[in-house]
Amino acid sequence: MSHPDAALREAGWTGADGRLRADHGLLLVGDIGGTKMLSALCDLGGTVLQTMREPTTREGAPALVAQVVAQRDALLARTGRQAEAIVAAGLGLPASIEPGTGRIHRGPNIPGLEEGDIGADLGRALGVPLALENDANMAALGEAWAGEGRGRDVVVHIAIGTGIGMGIVVDGRLLRGATGAAGEIAFLPLGADPEDPATHVSGPLEHCISSEALMRLYRASGGQGASLRDAFAAPEAALDAVLDRLGTLVARGIQSVAAILDPGAIILGGSLGARPEVLAAVEAALARGMARPPRCAISPLGDRAALVGAARAARRALASALE
């Protein structure tokens, strides 16, 4: 009976160095957020070959599965490949995913996400080994593998956009916790009363710094833009109020994280977290509150961080299936 490594090499999966051959198949990867879905096809080395983006459906879990399949088919059509070329998939969701059971919880940003078993439904629909993770976890995994966190023992990625999420990688492995909720920074008792039932779904911190909450603050402060994007494009006094709240509360969250994990760097991403103005506000608040604040940086991978992490997770799912 041949050794498993030799069998993989004979089947063409690995090269002489024992690593997966980049050209031996495709990975379907996706970053499914509360407002947009970004999908891509990658080679087995994690290189992104083709991407597409569209608004995330609000019609429940079955519609979300159908949207993932539709994006897969559209990406295949663009590349002229058949579905059989896809050998594994990795998808990030804005929710906690319980290890072992795959149960979805704490997923308020997509209606109906917690109903049924979307992991099993996606696995059946795609028909390949599937890695399903929290979207912030995927971004942290991407940073640890190929971004700002490469070579660091403890990698923390904080995504700020529709809401706020955090992923943690320690010694190359995701820190998930007992129920998959490790890193749910949105639920820190900051900014709002944690005993107020209104904060129990999204978390006290997210209750105050979600894009909807910041837009309300912007309006109340006299802002004239139609969106936060408009607010940053044409800065006015109302934007200062937004940056002050966002910078202060994110900094307090980082102080809590730093006290427990002592990361070498905090990597910011997401539609708001990737803005230099937000980084500056966070750093200023940290300087006011800490003698030795951790280094903060904007993700060099940008909105592809979760895709890169999803490719990493999909590779691991494939490797496990081939063993």
Instruction: Read off the pLDDT band of 8 (50, 70, 90).
Output: low
Please tell us whether the domain made up of 4-139+304-322 is placed in CATH 3.50.50.60: no
Q: Which bin fits 172, alpha (ψ -120 to 50), beta or left (φ > 0)?
A: left
Sheet of 173-174, strand order: 173-174, 164-170, 154-160, 265-269, 295-298
Mean pLDDT calculated for residue range 227-245: 96
pLDDT in tens, 51-74: 999 999 999 889 999 999 999 999
Q: Do domains 4-139+304-322 and 150-300 have the same CATH topology?
A: yes
Residue of 138, 128, 130 whose CA lies nearest to 159: 138
CA angle 12/14/17 to nearest 5° reads 140
3 state SS of 243: helix
pLDDT of residue 2: 43
| Domain ranges, ordered by start, for the chain | 4-139+304-322, 150-300
Q: How would you class 81 by CB atoms within 10 Å of its CB: exposed for 0-12, middle for 13-18, buried for 19 or more?
A: middle
Please state the pTM of the whole predicted model.
Answer: 0.89
Decide if pLDDT at 126 tops 70: yes
Whether 297 contacts 267, CB under 8 Å: yes
Beta bridge partners of 155: 169, 265
Domain 150-300, CATH class in plain words? alpha beta
pLDDT at 155 > cutoff 90: yes
How confident is the model at residue 3, as a pLDDT? 46
Q: Is 97 within 8 Å of 157 (Cβ atoms)?
A: no
88-112 confidence digits (pLDDT tens): 999 999 888 888 888 888 777 787 8
CA dist., res. 38 & res. 32, Å (int): 6
Give pLDDT, residue 7. 57
Q: How confident is the model over 131-146, as pLDDT tens digits?
A: 999 999 999 999 999 9
Q: Residue 280: how many CA atoms within 13 Å on its side-chain side?
A: 6
